[in-house]
């Protein structure tokens, strides 16, 4: 059967059609960008007959057609270091020449006997009767067909093949959080261009159309636009393992590490993980091991996934998505696929230690990975010490959150025995975030005592580091997670003081908390907030002209206004609504041209 992804209505229909088989390969790599080019090279160097499919007419993806021609962070070692040395830099700059890098990929693949098809779109996945992925359907300049493979590597960066094959994916539907996006201008002589002034959903053709129209108007005096939208967050698979920020902060090791990533939490927006709801990410760089299982989509055989689509929590991706690391784990994926073809084993059954030995030999990973084991579960003594050491800086918070069930009894005891008010509040705050009401009275008293709002946070894309919630915001969210309706009056009292001059994070906190408490008394207050001048009407219908937003001086504040309206409308709808106001706003956003907003609004309406 041929399964096609359908953007707006979940899984598309399984349809049957006759297509010619255009060839059979050991490995087919879909996407010739940051992960796909290295994947093809890795497979070819290990003897696999390999085909690389790319819809553009150049290779390299973000690092060439996307204009990101220098590294922000990343662990520059192994395959990446080899490639960088071969390409070199533009004299007097930290940048590589985008044409040189794309050409290096092409020559290296052809030197190894690999096939490259450009101007090719993949439009479906071919599954055998057992559900194993056996190839992909392609539209070429010479007509459509099927290419068959022992293994497929999805390097689309958007899990397009995984989604078509029926893999479970992580989208931005439930939590309206996505990293900012840009489409950069192209000027003769420029090498590096990086922007962040919109949201864009790579899965939504309407959104992509709007992005190019807006970008063309915004940079209408430039020579041209880049060919790739610089999305930093896309659809991701749910893999055999999902990397979380806790794994990163706790330096978790694995028996199947195939890459060591390095970056800081350059979040280009706000974070949503419980860890960052209490303590925002800092500016320091960290290392993170990446297990092979994060490239394997759960429930799908014959497929590996690379790049922004690997299996990680959205707030872990700033550490995992740097170009040097995507290049290195892409190379590892190619080697793994070649090993599967040679051994006639499934991708899940390859000799992982043999793969690691090769990666150690070329410098991709340190030798310790050969003997590493999973460092979880954390010892009880480590957990107890972490609870005891929670302080104003929330040291060891990631350890506590790594084992919440075991931590709860320790936190309850710590709250009961705490002598200082600030200690008692800290433990009550922590318990509330875990949905435990033991310290409810302490937390409620702290929120009631704060008569004025503290300094909050408005949306910021480029250059966003640190917390995106204030202390009051965090405590209000913790009250909401407890779900005790006695918190309603205190939260509503704070909500009634909000105006358009207040920061977005306060609206987000109130909306989340009231949605979780679910008391209908909140609906009237939320409706009054939405009636304030400037609070609503920020949707952009599909048929509207995106060019009118091209010259906005502060695109961050435009996103602040849109997000504020959506959070309030969702909370109003979930608290019972008033005269259909919440539903009406959400229905407008369902018809919005921005795919991120449309999908979230649709999800809220379906899950009140």
| pLDDT tens profile 7-57 | 455 555 566 678 999 999 999 999 999 999 999 999 999 999 999 999 999
- Cα→Cα distances 22→36, 48, 124, 137, 161, Å: 21, 18, 15, 10, 18
Percent of the chain residues past pLDDT 70, beyond the cut: 97
The pair of structure tokens assigned to 580 is 């259909």
The pairing of beta strand 121-127 with beta strand 133-140: antiparallel
- Cα→Cα distances 266→233, 243, 294, 522, Å: 12, 17, 21, 35
Check: CATH 3.50.50.60 for 21-171+236-370?
A: yes
CA–CA–CA angle 501, 274, 480 (5° rounding): 60
Q: What are phi and psi of 149, to 5 degrees?
A: -155, 150
Residue carrying structure tokens 């499919």: 53
541: which DSSP letter?
B
Sort 444 into a burial class: Cβ within 10 Å, 0-12 / 13-18 / 19+.
Answer: buried
pLDDT on residue 6: 42
Supply the mean pLDDT for the chain.
Answer: 93
Domain positions in the chain are: 21-171+236-370, 380-606
Dist. CA 230–CA 322, nearest whole Å: 13
Which of 171, 169, 175 has its CA nearest to residue 239? 169
Instruction: Tell me the pLDDT tens digit for each residue of 375-396.
Output: 999 999 999 999 999 988 888 9
Instruction: Tell me the pLDDT tens digit for each residue of 289-324.
Output: 999 999 999 999 999 999 999 999 999 999 999 999
Instruction: Tell me the pLDDT tens digit for each residue of 119-148.
Output: 999 988 999 888 899 999 999 999 999 999
Dist. CA 238–CA 294, nearest whole Å: 8
Instruction: Tell me the pLDDT tens digit for each residue of 234-266.
Output: 999 999 999 999 999 999 999 999 999 999 998
pLDDT on residue 5: 43
Report which secondary-structure segment, H or E, holds 14.
Answer: strand 11-15
- Cα→Cα distances 122→8, 30, 49, 135, 316, Å: 19, 8, 19, 10, 28
Give the alpha-carbon dihedral of 375, 380, 383, 384, to 10 degrees.
-160
Packing angle of the helix pair 323-343, 36-45 (nearest 10 deg): 40
- How confident is residue 3, by pLDDT bands cut at 50, 70 and 90? very low
Averaged pLDDT for residues 547-558: 84
Percent of the chain residues past pLDDT 90, beyond the cut: 82
H helices present in 292-368, as ranges: 317-320, 323-343, 352-361
Dist. CA 271–CA 235, nearest whole Å: 16
Determine the CATH number of domain 380-606. Answer: 1.25.10.10
Q: With 70 as the cut, is the pLDDT of residue 586 above it?
A: yes
The pairing of beta strand 236-237 with beta strand 115-117: unpaired
Instruction: Tell me the pLDDT tens digit for each residue of 459-479.
Output: 999 888 889 999 999 999 999
Report which secondary-structure segment, H or E, holds 582.
Answer: helix 581-590
SS3 for 385? helix
Averaged pLDDT for residues 83-92: 95
């Amino acid at each position: 059967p041929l399964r096609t992804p359908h953007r707006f209505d979940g899984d598309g229909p399984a349809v049957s059609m006759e297509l010619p088989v255009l060839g059979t390969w050991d490995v087919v790599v879909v996407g010739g960008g940051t992960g796909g080019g290295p994947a093809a090279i890795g497979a070819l160097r290990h003897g696999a007959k390999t085909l690389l499919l790319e819809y553009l007419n150049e290779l390299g993806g973000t690092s060439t057609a996307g204009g990101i021609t220098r590294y922000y962070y990343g662990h520059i070692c192994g395959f990446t270091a080899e490639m960088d040395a071969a390409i070199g830099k533009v004299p007097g700059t930290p940048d590589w020449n985008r044409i040189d890098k794309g050409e290096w990929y092409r020559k290296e693949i052809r030197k190894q006997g690999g096939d490259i098809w450009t101007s090719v779109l993949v439009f479906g996945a071919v599954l055998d009767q057992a559900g194993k992925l056996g190839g992909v359907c392609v539209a070429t300049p010479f007509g459509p067909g099927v290419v068959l493979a022992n293994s497929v590597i999805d390097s689309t960066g958007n899990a397009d093949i995984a989604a078509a094959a029926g893999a479970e994916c992580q989208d931005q539907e439930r939590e309206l959080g996505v990293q900012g996006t840009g489409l950069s201008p192209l000027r003769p002589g420029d090498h590096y261009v990086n922007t962040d002034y919109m949201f864009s959903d790579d899965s939504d053709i309407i959104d992509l159309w709007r992005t190019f129209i807006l970008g063309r108007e915004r940079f209408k005096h430039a020579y041209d636009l880049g060919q790739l939208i610089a999305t930093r967050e896309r659809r991701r698979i749910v893999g055999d393992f999902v990397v979380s920020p806790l794994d990163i902060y706790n330096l978790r090791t694995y028996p199947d590490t195939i890459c060591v990533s390095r970056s800081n939490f350059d979040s280009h927006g706000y974070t949503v993980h419980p860890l960052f709801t209490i303590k925002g990410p800092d500016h320091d760089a960290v290392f993170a091991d990446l297990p092979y299982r994060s490239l394997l989509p759960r429930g799908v055989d014959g497929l590996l996934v690379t790049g922004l689509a690997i299996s990680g929590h959205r707030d872990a991706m700033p550490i995992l998505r740097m170009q040097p690391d995507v290049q290195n784990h892409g190379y590892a994926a190619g080697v793994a696929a070649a090993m599967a073809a040679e051994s006639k084993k499934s991708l899940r059954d390859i000799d992982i230690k043999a793969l690691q030995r090769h990666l150690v030999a070329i410098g991709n990973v340190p030798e310790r990975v050969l003997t590493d084991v999973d460092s979880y579960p954390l010892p009880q003594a480590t957990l107890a010490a972490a609870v005891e050491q929670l302080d104003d800086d929330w040291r060891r918070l990631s350890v506590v959150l790594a084992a919440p069930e075991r931590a709860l009894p320790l936190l309850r005891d710590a709250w009961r025995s705490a002598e200082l008010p600030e200690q008692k509040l800290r433990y009550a705050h922590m318990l509330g975030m875990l949905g435990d009401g033991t310290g409810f009275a302490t937390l409620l008293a702290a929120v009631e005592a704060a008569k004025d709002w503290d300094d909050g946070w408005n949306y910021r894309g480029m250059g966003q580091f640190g917390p995106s919630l204030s202390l009051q915001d965090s405590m209000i969210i913790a009250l909401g997670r407890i779900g005790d309706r006695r918190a309603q009056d205190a939260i509503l009292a704070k909500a009634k003081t909000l105006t358009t001059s207040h920061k977005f994070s306060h609206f987000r906190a109130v909306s989340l908390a009231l949605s979780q408490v679910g008391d209908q008394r909140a609906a009237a207050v939320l409706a009054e907030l939405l009636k304030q001048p400037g609070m609503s009407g920020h949707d952009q219908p599909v048929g509207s002209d995106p060019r009118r937003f091209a010259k906005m001086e502060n695109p961050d504040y435009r996103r602040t206004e849109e997000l504020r309206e959506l959070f309030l409308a969702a909370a109003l709808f979930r608290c019972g609504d008033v005269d259909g106001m919440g539903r009406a706003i959400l229905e407008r956003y369902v018809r919005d041209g921005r795919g991120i907003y449309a999908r979230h609004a649709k999800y809220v309406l379906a899950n009140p």
